[in-house]
Amino acid sequence: MDAQTTAVVTLLEVATWAKMSGMSLTSQSAIAPVLSHFLLFFITQYAVLKLYRIVIYPRFFSPLKNLPGPKDGFPLLGQFLQILTSNSPNEPFLTWSALWPRAPFIRFLRAGNHETLLINTPEAHREVFHTYYDSFEKPDFMFRWVGDITGWGLLFAEGEEHKRQRRLLQGLFTVRNLKRIFPVFSDKAEGFAQRLEDSMDEQGCATLDVASAYLMSRLNVTSVTIMGLELDQLTARDPEWDFVSCYRRIFHPERIAGMLILINAMVPIRRLLPVKAFSDHTRAMAEARAIVTECVRQRIRDVERAAEKGKKFQSVIGSGGSDLLTMLVEENQRQHQGSLDKLAEQELVDQTLTFVVGSHATTNSALVWASYILAKDQSIQDKLRSEILEARARKGCETLLWEAIDRLTYLNNFVREILRIYTPTVTSYRESTKDLNLCDTFVPKGTLFYFAMNVASCSKAVWGEDAGTCIPERWDSLHDEAADPYAFQTFSQGPRICIGKTFAMMNIKTFLVEMVHRFRFVKSPQMEALGGRAPELQCPTFTYVPKGSLEVVFERI
């Protein structure tokens, strides 16, 4: 935008200069002097403008300059290098939050000295995500980071388009519909547990890399519950670029590749830097979209053929069950018949990919960290197992239905505590679309806000000195700010709260119920070697997961 503005101003200046000099712009002799003056004026003015924006404005004239924030940045790069090279995706932000625990917003500088505000307190989260939610949008670079794979689904839709999409999708996530999906969660959890038991040695033990095993297991569950197909049923154009390999390349890249992808989101360099990390990432996104597009097209055909015969299409979930894509296509057909709004094919693809990415990111991360905590703290594990066994005894059955699982208080507290400390999604950004006054702070239009999900949920000022410790009992009696919904932002809050929250909780709880009642989680030699330290984290990343493996020992009960 600065370059375009400067170019227009320069054209007017050159035209004025030529007229005052009595020079005809159409003459052959005028080309060289006009071009040289244009370049001279443009380069000089553009350099001055950038000097003002990058150096002078943020330091001397910005209305945000006096907000609390770190001062240890690099010239022209601010705190960007510190964020990029940190050992944890949220390490710098948690450090700053601890330094200024009561500041609603903390100012830091990204590359190019672009001012960014970290949303810090529950009150600030409420202002951004509820009170003035319609005065914010996701910035363009977020789409370059995530949107290339999810498209313009519910995650990136704004304003009236977001309201339209949410209205069309809301019915998918009713309790009645989710109960149709629950059997697959239960069956897949039982199948995973049985395979683990079959792999045990004579002492009834098995060591499992939960980071890798859960990634594959949860991705398959996600595929079946959302698209109605097992992973090996998803047709790829190239076997070397199947859905699993594409997913790994996109969301679990090597550290250098992850850094380049993050830099490209901030400054689009992908086309200027033809490196393998970019070409692989780009192709992986294209191949994944192609696989899901074919799946959506086939499902539309299947539903239409079944409707012509007066029947309902049945996916692999089986009789009486369904998957989100089938329900979405069926609902879309009903909308069309009633001459109401409906989702186009591309929108169906975008929504499906949004559901896949959102669901898998949450459940995979949560279950990895749940297993880690259960292995570390046997008392939590014992209480959880006792509650599950008591519920099974009351019901007199081996398998608990969702109604019974959802009433397990300690399980609910444990899952929320895991999601509070180990918030699966690392970050998001919002950008103000107009001047605002937030928490008595004037914020000009175009200000960027950084939303680190676990900043409020891990704040000692909100949750106490033991904020970083897993204590499920704390949820029995939350006090003061901790009782504020905006102190727990795992699924966001306000009008844009995660539409699939209950879906994710059902997935996580069902798996834990099956695993905890059958196995004891024990520290592996790898965990013992950490000596109480937390595992090294993947960084930069989309989701909060360990770097490399995380081994847990499972013992048959």
- Which residues are annotated as part of the binding site for heme? 498
Contact indicator for 500, 359 with CB cutoff of 8 Å: yes
A 10 A CB-CB count for 313 gives 18
Contact indicator for 439, 105 with CB cutoff of 8 Å: yes
Taking the C-alpha atoms of residue 425 and residue 489, their distance in angstroms, rounded to an integer, is 10
DSSP 412-440: HHHHHHHHHHS-SB-EEEEEESS-EEETT
Contact indicator for 364, 370 with CB cutoff of 8 Å: no
Taking the C-alpha atoms of residue 194 and residue 213, their distance in angstroms, rounded to an integer, is 14
Half-sphere exposure of 67 toward its Cβ, with a 13 Å CA cutoff?
28
H or E element in which residue 219 lies: helix 210-227
Q: Which of 341, 321, 317 is nearest to 331 (CA)?
A: 341
**Structural tokens at position 280:** 């692989």
Per DSSP, the three-state class of 532 is coil
SS3 of the chain: helix, strand, coil, percent, to 5: 60, 10, 30
Strand 448-452 and strand 115-119: the pairing is: parallel
Question: What's the distance, CA 374 to chain centroid?
Answer: 25
Per DSSP, the three-state class of 407 is coil
CB contact set of 247 (below 8 Å; sequence gap of 6+): 219, 284, 288, 360
User: At 78, which amino acid appears?
Assistant: G
Taking the C-alpha atoms of residue 9 and residue 332, their distance in angstroms, rounded to an integer, is 50
CB contact set of 199 (below 8 Å; sequence gap of 6+): 206
Contact indicator for 493, 130 with CB cutoff of 8 Å: yes
Taking the C-alpha atoms of residue 109 and residue 78, their distance in angstroms, rounded to an integer, is 5
Contact indicator for 299, 228 with CB cutoff of 8 Å: yes
Give the burial class of 188: count Cβ atoms within 10 A of its Cβ; 0-12 exposed, 13-18 middle, 19 or more buried: buried
Taking the C-alpha atoms of residue 89 and residue 83, their distance in angstroms, rounded to an integer, is 7
Residue given tokens 């330290």 in the structure block:
533
Contact indicator for 417, 470 with CB cutoff of 8 Å: yes
Binding site, residues? 498
